[in-house]
Amino acid sequence: MPSVPRWLRRVISSPILLTFLAITLGLVVGSFVIILTTAPVLDAWRSLFHSWGGPGHAIKTTFDYVGAAYRDMFTGAVIDPNSLWHSITTGQSWTSTLTPLSETLTYATPLTIASIGVGITFQTGLFNIGANGQAIIGGIAGVAVGSSLHLPTIILLPITLLAGVLGGVLTGALPGLLKSFTGAHEVIVTLMFNYVANLILLFTLLSTPLQQPGQGNDISRNLLPGALLSPLFGTASGLRVNWGVFIAAGVVVVAWWFLERSSLGFEFRVSGANPHAARVSGINPRKITILAFLISGGLAGLAGITEVAGTTHFIDGGFLVGSAGIGFTAITVSLLGRNRPVGIMWGALLFAALGVGGRSMQASTGIPLDLATVIQYSIVLFIATPVMVQEIFRIRSRATSGLQLASQGWNT
């Protein structure tokens, strides 16, 4: 490189920049999807050669639609500058101005928790693809407790959350135990259990006392008022962001301390970086595997119950369903954050913003929410290949560490 100043060179080769570039590329992919699936834009491109103004029209239409879509995403997820200005100058409608941010934070809360759980297992060299199933079971357990025990909030809420954690812990125990005692590859076990968990959800919602009394559908009972994570600014404010954000923040801090400062966390990281050396150095691989899955499952379960206690207050058959379910998004967020707690927090905020923004975009332009998921996955695909992003943008990077998990196949 010709005389590029040293500080600039460092910035250019930093992992953070790569992340930004991956995000950009993901948005580009999203643009393509929008172009290819929005009728007016397609029409504009189809008539590309019909007139001299064809190309210009096509490009303008593209920019209009894509721009509108992404603008709606931004204002839906963060803030609408007009609205902000209005609120500042008139002192009114703060609610509608702050709602996007509040929504993003609300969505980010359980997502952060689940993603940190997934990130911890990734750092240990294990793949927890079952966070979705663990979150579902955690949600069920939490609702079971939180909808039936009539206790004061100060006891009921912690117990409800704890029940969620325990639900996740038990679910996480399955792949953990199977892997450490039989060598069963956790990818298949966790993937399969996601489907099982979905069915357990249906079962409990239709055939057990958990079902909403008087309802034939797959809806659960409501959480008692004492088991709710109430909105930060009170229900009257209309802002949904709830006390769960503090839980999420707490999880981030504890996870950071655990991984970076505790001995057990060190053992986790060593196991992830080199399982052979870990074993020879006296680290017990079984203990680590089981603990990692218990922790990860527990966090996923906590995410599940936090979602319920903070927002919906009940669960239905569509809880955390499909590939947009928290468990899968958590994987992508964790990869985006390079499996580190602080990075994961930012990643969760970004993806929550994409999700919330996507909803808003759907409302105003009709583009379905799944586009946001497509963008998320594209970003992650690009993140998983820092080399490729570098090539596209012609950068040389410093150590592209952190993402190369102990690459292994089925052989243990």
Partner 1 sequence: MRVELRGITKRFGSLTANDQISLTVEPGQIHCLLGENGAGKSTLMNVLFGLLHPDEGEILIDGLPVSFANSGDAVRQGIGMVHQHFMLVPVFTVAENVVLGFEPTKSFDRLDRKKADEDIREASRRFGLQVDPDAVVEDLPVGIQQRVEILKALNHDAQLLILDEPTAVLTPQEIDSLIEIMRSLKAAGKSILFISHKLREVRDVSDVITVIRQGRVVGTAQPSDSEAELASLMVGRDVMLTVEKQESAAGPARLEIRDLVVRDDRGVPVVDGVTLDVRAGEILALAGVQGNGQTELVEALAGVRPVESGSITLDGQDITNASPRRVLDAGLGHVPEDRHRDGLVLSMSVADNLVLNTPRHVPFAYHGTRRRAEIRRNAVERIRDFDIRTESPEAAVSSLSGGNQQKVILARELSRPIKVLVAAQPTRGLDVGSIEYVHRQIVKQRHDGQGVLIVSSELDEVLALGDRIAVMHHGKITGVVPPTTSREVIGLLMTGVSIEEATNA
Partner 2 sequence: MTTIVSSTTGALRPRLRLSRDQVIGTLAILLGLFTMWAFALGSSSRSNSQLTFDPVNTSGTLPWHVGNLTLATRLTCLVAALAIIAIGAEILIRRPKRAVMVRFGAAAALFFVAILLWAARTHGPSQVDFVNLTSVLVGGIAPAVVLTYGSLSGILCERSGVVNIAIEGQFLGGAFLGSLIDSVTHNFFLATLGGVVIGGLLGLVLAFFALRYQSDQIIVGVVLASLVISLGSYLNLQILTPYPQYNAGSPAPNLTIPLLAKIPVLGPVLFNENGYFYLVIALVLFISFGLFRTRWGLRVRAVGEHPRAAASVGINVIRTRYFNVILGGMVAGVGGVALFAWQGQFQPGITSGYGYIALAGLIFGRWRPSGVVVASLLFGMSVYLANNLQTYQVPVSTSILLMFPYVVTIVVVSGLIGRVRAPAADGLPYKRD
Residues of this chain that interact with partner 1 (CB under 8 A) are: 261-264, 266-267, 269-270, 273-274, 276-284, 399, 401
Which phi and psi angles does 211 have, rounded to 5°?
-70, 145
- 217 contributes a contact to partner 2 by CB under 8 A: no
CB 164 within 8 A of CB 141: yes
d(CA 77, CA 371) in angstroms, rounded, equals 15
- 178 contributes a contact to partner 2 by CB under 8 A: yes
What single string gives the DSSP state of each residue in 95-111?
HHHHHHHHHHHHHHHHH
Tokens encoding 12: 């250019």
- 323 contributes a contact to partner 2 by CB under 8 A: yes
d(CA 133, CA 117) in angstroms, rounded, equals 13
CB nearer to partner 1: pick between 272 and 357 = 272
CB nearer to partner 1: pick between 3 and 263 = 263
Q: How many CB atoms lie within 10 A of CB 250?
A: 11
- 407 contributes a contact to partner 2 by CB under 8 A: yes
CB nearer to partner 2: pick between 201 and 247 = 201
Using the contact rule CB under 8 A, the part of the chain among 94-102, 113-121, 147-155, 278-286 near partner 2 is: 278-286
What single string gives the DSSP state of each residue in 134-171?
HHHHHHHHHHHHHTT----HHHHHHHHHHHHHHHHHHH
- 235 contributes a contact to partner 2 by CB under 8 A: no
| Per-residue DSSP letter, 221 | P
* Cα–Cα nearest to 232, from 223, 242, 222, 224: 242
Closest approach, Cβ 277 to partner 1, in A, equals 5
Closest approach, Cβ 272 to partner 1, in A, equals 9
Residues present in the chain in total: 412
CB nearer to partner 1: pick between 26 and 275 = 275
d(CA 318, CA 335) in angstroms, rounded, equals 26
Residues 6+ apart with CB under 8 A from 136: 197, 198, 200, 201, 304, 319, 320
Using the contact rule CB under 8 A, the part of the chain among 40-48, 72-80, 88-96, 321-329 near partner 2 is: 321-329
Tell me how far CA of residue 32 lies from CA of 25, 187, 371, in angstroms: 11, 31, 11
- 74 contributes a contact to partner 2 by CB under 8 A: no
Site for partner 2 in 111-130 (CB under 8 A): 127, 129
Closest approach, Cβ 70 to partner 2, in A, equals 16
Q: How many residues bind partner 2 (CB under 8 A)?
A: 62
**Out of 191, 273, 392, 395, which residue is the one contacting partner 2 (CB under 8 A)?**
191
Kindly state the helix (H) or strand (E) to which residue 67 belongs, with its residue range. helix 54-77
CB nearer to partner 2: pick between 233 and 377 = 377
Closest approach, Cβ 391 to partner 1, in A, equals 19
One-letter amino acid at 73 equals M
Closest approach, Cβ 332 to partner 2, in A, equals 7
CB 153 within 8 A of CB 226: yes
SS (H, E, C) 285-349: HHHHHHHHHHHHHHHHHHHHHHHHHHHHCCCECCCCCCCCCHHHHHHHHHHHCCCCHHHHHHHHH
Which does residue 126 bind out of partner 1, partner 2, none, counting CB within 5 to 8 angstroms by kind? none
CB nearer to partner 1: pick between 135 and 291 = 291
- 285 contributes a contact to partner 2 by CB under 8 A: yes
d(CA 169, CA 240) in angstroms, rounded, equals 28
CB 338 within 8 A of CB 403: yes
CB nearer to partner 1: pick between 36 and 277 = 277
- 9 contributes a contact to partner 2 by CB under 8 A: no
Closest approach, Cβ 343 to partner 1, in A, equals 17
CB nearer to partner 1: pick between 148 and 404 = 404
CB nearer to partner 1: pick between 148 and 401 = 401
- 90 contributes a contact to partner 2 by CB under 8 A: no
- 206 contributes a contact to partner 2 by CB under 8 A: yes
CB nearer to partner 2: pick between 62 and 271 = 271
Site residues for partner 2 per CB under 8 A? 33, 37, 127, 129, 178, 180-185, 187-189, 191-196, 199-200, 202-203, 206-207, 275-276, 279-280, 285-286, 322-324, 328, 331-332, 335, 367-368, 370-371, 373-374, 377-378, 380-381, 384-385, 387-388, 403-405, 407-412
